[in-house]
Structure 1
Amino acid sequence: MTSTDYVHVASRGSEGLAEAPSGVFAVQAGISPRLYNNDLAPTNRESRHWSAYSIFTLWANDVHSLGNYAFAIGLFALGLSGGAILGALAFGALFLFLLLTLSGFMGEKTGVPFPVMSRIAFGVHGAQIPALLRGGVAIAWFGIQTFLASQVLQVVLLAVFPGVRGLQSGSFLGLSPLGWITFVALWVIQVVIVSFGMEMIRKYEAFAGPIILATFVALAVWVLVQSGFRIDWAPTKASQGGDVWLKMLGGASLWVSIYGTFVLNFCDFTRGARSRKAIVKGNFWGIPINMLFFGVIVVVLTGGTFTLHGKVITSPAEVVAAIPNTFLLVLASLALIALTIAVNLMANFVAPTYALNNLFPRHLNFRRAALISAVIGIVITPWNMYNSPVVINVFLGGLGALLGPLFGIIMVDYWLVKKQRINVPELYSDTVTSEYAYRRGFNPRAVTTLVIAGALSLAFTFLPVFDAVRDFSWFVAAGSAAIIYALIADRRGPFHDVDGAEIAVAATH
């Protein structure tokens, strides 16, 4: 056996755990260094620290993102009243609670990140397809969200240091000098946080969550006081009759599609979860309860400001900008920046980091892959992407349309075909006899399903003939992929249920 036939795994003893094999042990041929490194390895249960509170704070940050507020406020323009919007969010939250709990259980059982999880359905090499699709969408949005946060930071700097206004003149690659300063500053902050791994992300989310919730409660109270506790529950002309229910369900479906990325790679986080109970409890408080709280804040901010000014806001940032006290405006703006960073880390930074790690496991680790992801996030000049409707709607919309089919395939394969019987060590084997070798490392049935359901999803996304049902496109895409794959999947097995304890490492990344 040569050095290329095995990989070295840090011993449990060196990680301060009770069980301690000899200092370093070799995992024999079959565990391929092309598929395995310490960041892609399964996590051992002793080192998992993600509690119900940790998972709750993920949602406390992500649900209250500025993009989500813009979406929910936009539902008023579709003819929904405040009560109907709460109903739409409630329906969406129930769907998401189910989908994210099932997705989260996969990570808790296996301890592996999304690219490795994808090997179960797509094969050890075919898994690059879902990993890169998910990572490609995320890396673009990482840059865009950083750009949007940098604009809020510019407002803060102008309020505190009016003299920097001169830095807004001039342009290089589409950004002013002040734009570059604020963008790079936030870029560096995020790179530093991610460079310390998933544990640092967990700690940042736990820190930011209460701040975000307190900030939005304070904004809502301020608007209530300013409006004399009078809220207009229907600032735009509301729909009537059966049309209301159709639009509510459409809004719920769109709300689920927003999380079409997260339901795929939630295992990146739950691989560090202490138990299934922690996932259920964290999801319960973070999804249905927190999302209804979010809906109440939306109604108060929108209805209250409409009572005050007679116009519908498009974002909470407008409420913050209207605060007459500079000190309070700066505090609220900094909270929005902290929120955007929290959302960016969990939704848009982790996925491409693992995707790149999976692509080059011999040469990359979590920190190096994170840095490369961040560099790509600058090189693509995301501010130019954001200002281009073609790029946002066609490129990102097209990639996003393929995430629904991926979810349908992976969930059916895990829960219905293999029925949770996963041979974790074989996920790192590229031998022809491996359970996940399929055909040269690719599962042709999964790829075929993705092509067929992906084409249908793209048609629903872009063809005008489907305008009437476009709101339900994610469910159509995921559902069609699930049905097709359930019909053509190879169910012959045998499927073995083997944990990854012998090749597991501490959950530091």
Structure 2
Amino acid sequence: MQVTNPSPALYNEDLAPAQERRWGAFSIFNVWTSDVHSLWGYYLAASLFLLCGNFWNFLLAIGAGSLVIYWLMTLVGVAGVRTGVPFPVLARASFGTFGANIPALIRGLVACFWYGAQTAAASGALVALMIRWPAMLEFHQSSQLLGHSTLEVICYLLVWAAQLLIIQRGMETVRRFQDWAGPAVWLMMLILAIYLVAKSGRFSFGEEIPRDVLVEATRDAGISTPPGSLPTLMAVAATWITYFAALYLNFCDFSRYATSERSLRIGNLWGLPVNLLAFCLVAGVTTTAAFHVYGEVLLHPDQISAKFDSWFLALLAALTFVVATLGINVVANFVSAAFDFSNAAPRAIDFRRGGLIAAGIALVLYPWAPWETGATRFVNFIGSTMGPIFGIMMVDYYLIRRTQLNVPDLYRERGEFRFNGGFHGKAFVALFVGMVFSSILPTFTTLLPSWWGLYGWFFGVLIGGASYWLMRRGDAVWSGGVSGRTPASTGSH
């Protein structure tokens, strides 16, 4: 779709509706292989696998969670296919042409946070490889910089810089990178699993790990109920769903390039429930085999590779972890932040500059390393802030507008989405109410039950979405259209 006479403050070529659509089912599938196959993803998957207690509980909890993820991603993905616009532009329909900058900047800052976390994890794999040399080990132990060892800082900078080479070439380079990086990481994961299972001489699902050892190893997962119990399985499913909270918002950044809704659904089907179950299974089996070989519960794959006798396997593992990090940072963090920051100032910031801003913020955060907390607590707090935004946008697109959206007016200051000076007050009231119950109360007070935080994202979606729905019931759009808009201007295709 061509947009005529757009407002310069709302438009640039990167934010415009997608004209070229080359992302077939395989490319969509590899969005998910790139996003999931990371060091943080492995750590979380291995922890949740062990907390399930046995294989059948794993299928129940992770399987159910993966199906919910597929459904939610398809909801936002379809909106991307039909409108061709990225997340911050789609958010203008509910938050207003300029109000959309607030949820977009929230998402962009979350992306910067995750960018730093993933980069630090990958650099840790390089450090583990390099300290096999006695000279490097001595350097690692004796030299400090910015609150870390100097070797850690150097490795962080190397991984941080390598990612810039991909994003600066644009979205088509992102697609090509994903199409080989995703399968390559899967191949290395299988090699790692087969090597450890063969060395341990057994194929098991964690039942042999003593309960006290298991509880201690997974303490940082933030799930205090006994492994295998019903409350634990519910918490496992909820945590797995919340892990993808940020991408529920900006998956349309990718689906807008899909060749069709059918390609989107096929790619999502193989990339989400099928791929997620297989990934968690391999992570769990590998962790269990490593326990039998090394006598420890090693939830981080770089901890496992550090114990390899083979230098070649250790090098291959370290390189694979770096590629995996490049993949997830490009998919979940670079692309999102690039569009989000570009949306704030389209005339000054394009896609590439937005990516550079994200990388710069992640670099500034590194000395404090705010991501070095319990994995699930970090995931749930960050994810819960995204819940109300997602709920408001999906209620607006599906329940209020019935998927009929005036795309050209998303780029006009005085169009349908002007609301009150470019800000939609009802959406921000709903956002605040949702965040109170999803993030603020469970994080900073003891007013809510201790288990509430595990489900913060869900409460945010439901309360934020319901609040928005109730406030908008009397608006003209409730009938399925806005006065003065013709079917030809919906922008659906």
Using the size of structure 2 for normalisation, the TM-score is 0.89
Which of the residues 56, 77, 83 maps onto 1:110? Answer: 83
Confirm whether residue 313 of structure 1 aligns to residue 294 of structure 2: no
Counterpart residue number, 1:23: none
Q: How many residues align?
A: 471
Counterpart residue number, 2:17: 42
Counterpart residue number, 1:22: none
Q: Is contact 1:147–1:383 with CA below 8 Å preserved after alignment? A: no
Counterpart residue number, 1:460: 442
Letter in 2 for 1:37: N
Aligned to 1:137, the other structure's residue is in SS state: helix
> How do 1:300-379 residues align onto structure 2 when only pairs under 5 Å count?
300-379=285-364
Task: State which drifts further: 143-152 or 239-248.
Answer: 239-248
**Distance in 2 (alpha carbons) for counterparts of 1:446 and 1:377:** 29
State the Cα deviation string for residues 9-62 of structure 1 (Å, max 9, x = none). 9xx9xxxxxxxxxxxxx943xx21000011111112xx1111111111111122
Counterpart residue number, 1:251: 236
Which of the residues 390, 398, 401 maps onto 1:418? Answer: 401
Letter in 1 for 2:426: R
> How do 1:484-495 residues align onto structure 2 when only pairs under 5 Å count?
484-489=467-472, 490-493=474-477, 494-495=481-482
Q: Is contact 2:239–2:454 with CA below 8 Å preserved after alignment? A: yes
State the Cα deviation string for residues 204-235 of structure 1 (Å, max 9, x = none). 11111111111111111112111212425322
**Distance in 2 (alpha carbons) for counterparts of 1:346 and 1:76:** 24
Q: In the TM superposition, what is the alpha-carbon distance from 1:93 to its structure 2 partner?
A: 0.5
Q: In the TM superposition, what is the alpha-carbon distance from 1:79 to its structure 2 partner?
A: 6.1
Change in CA separation of 1:247 and 1:174 when aligned onto 2, cut-off 3 Å: same
**Distance in 1 (alpha carbons) for counterparts of 2:290 and 2:489:** 55
**Distance in 1 (alpha carbons) for counterparts of 2:462 and 2:425:** 19
Change in CA separation of 1:393 and 1:498 when aligned onto 2, cut-off 3 Å: farther
**Distance in 2 (alpha carbons) for counterparts of 1:283 and 1:392:** 24
Which blocks of at least 5 consecutive residues in structure 1 are unaligned? 1-8, 13-25, 505-509
Letter in 1 for 2:270: W
**Distance in 2 (alpha carbons) for counterparts of 1:305 and 1:156:** 18
Aligned to 2:449, the other structure's residue is in SS state: helix
State the Cα deviation string for residues 411-449 of structure 1 (Å, max 9, x = none). 010001001111111001111xx1111111111111110
Counterpart residue number, 2:204: 231
Which blocks of at least 5 consecutive residues in structure 2 are unaligned? 216-224
Confirm whether residue 287 of structure 1 aligns to residue 267 of structure 2: no
Counterpart residue number, 1:440: 421
> How do 1:120-139 residues align onto structure 2 when only pairs under 5 Å count?
120-139=93-112
Counterpart residue number, 2:71: 98
Which of the residues 452, 457, 482 maps onto 1:474? Answer: 457
Change in CA separation of 1:164 and 1:307 when aligned onto 2, cut-off 3 Å: closer
Aligned to 2:144, the other structure's residue is in SS state: coil
Q: Is contact 2:40–2:118 with CA below 8 Å preserved after alignment? A: no
State the Cα deviation string for residues 113-164 of structure 1 (Å, max 9, x = none). 11101001111011011101111111122122212211212233344x6544
Task: State which drifts further: 148-157 or 260-269.
Answer: 148-157
Counterpart residue number, 1:450: 431
Q: Is contact 2:203–2:285 with CA below 8 Å preserved after alignment? A: no
**Distance in 2 (alpha carbons) for counterparts of 1:280 and 1:211:** 23
**Distance in 2 (alpha carbons) for counterparts of 1:166 and 1:243:** 43
Q: In the TM superposition, what is the alpha-carbon distance from 1:400 to its structure 2 partner?
A: 3.5
Counterpart residue number, 1:18: none
Change in CA separation of 1:236 and 1:407 when aligned onto 2, cut-off 3 Å: farther
**Distance in 1 (alpha carbons) for counterparts of 2:316 and 2:227:** 44
Counterpart residue number, 2:173: 200
> How do 1:172-183 residues align onto structure 2 when only pairs under 5 Å count?
172-183=145-156
Counterpart residue number, 2:220: none
**Distance in 2 (alpha carbons) for counterparts of 1:208 and 1:143:** 20
State the Cα deviation string for residues 354-408 of structure 1 (Å, max 9, x = none). 111011111111112211221222122255323478x9968x8655422001110
Q: In the TM superposition, what is the alpha-carbon distance from 1:189 to its structure 2 partner?
A: 1.2
Task: State which drifts further: 335-344 or 293-302.
Answer: 293-302
Change in CA separation of 1:230 and 1:380 when aligned onto 2, cut-off 3 Å: closer
Change in CA separation of 1:477 and 1:382 when aligned onto 2, cut-off 3 Å: farther
Change in CA separation of 1:218 and 1:401 when aligned onto 2, cut-off 3 Å: same
**Distance in 2 (alpha carbons) for counterparts of 1:382 and 1:142:** 14
Task: State which drifts further: 112-121 or 179-188.
Answer: 179-188
Change in CA separation of 1:449 and 1:266 when aligned onto 2, cut-off 3 Å: same
Change in CA separation of 1:190 and 1:259 when aligned onto 2, cut-off 3 Å: same
Q: In the TM superposition, what is the alpha-carbon distance from 1:302 to its structure 2 partner?
A: 2.4
**Distance in 1 (alpha carbons) for counterparts of 2:63 and 2:376:** 28
> How do 1:148-227 residues align onto structure 2 when only pairs under 5 Å count?
148-159=121-132, 163-168=135-140, 169-227=142-200
RMSD: 2.8
Change in CA separation of 1:76 and 1:216 when aligned onto 2, cut-off 3 Å: closer
Q: Is contact 1:223–1:300 with CA below 8 Å preserved after alignment? A: no
**Distance in 2 (alpha carbons) for counterparts of 1:339 and 1:383:** 24
Using the size of structure 1 for normalisation, the TM-score is 0.86
Task: State which drifts further: 124-133 or 479-488.
Answer: 479-488
Letter in 2 for 1:477: G
**Distance in 2 (alpha carbons) for counterparts of 1:246 and 1:126:** 39
> How do 1:44-83 residues align onto structure 2 when only pairs under 5 Å count?
44=19, 47-75=20-48, 78=51, 80-83=53-56
State the Cα deviation string for residues 258-279 of structure 1 (Å, max 9, x = none). 1000111100111111110111
> How do 1:13-24 residues align onto structure 2 when only pairs under 5 Å count?
none
> How do 1:396-411 residues align onto structure 2 when only pairs under 5 Å count?
399-411=382-394
**Distance in 1 (alpha carbons) for counterparts of 2:395 and 2:315:** 48
Task: State which drifts further: 341-350 or 89-98.
Answer: 341-350
Task: State which drifts further: 171-180 or 443-452.
Answer: 171-180
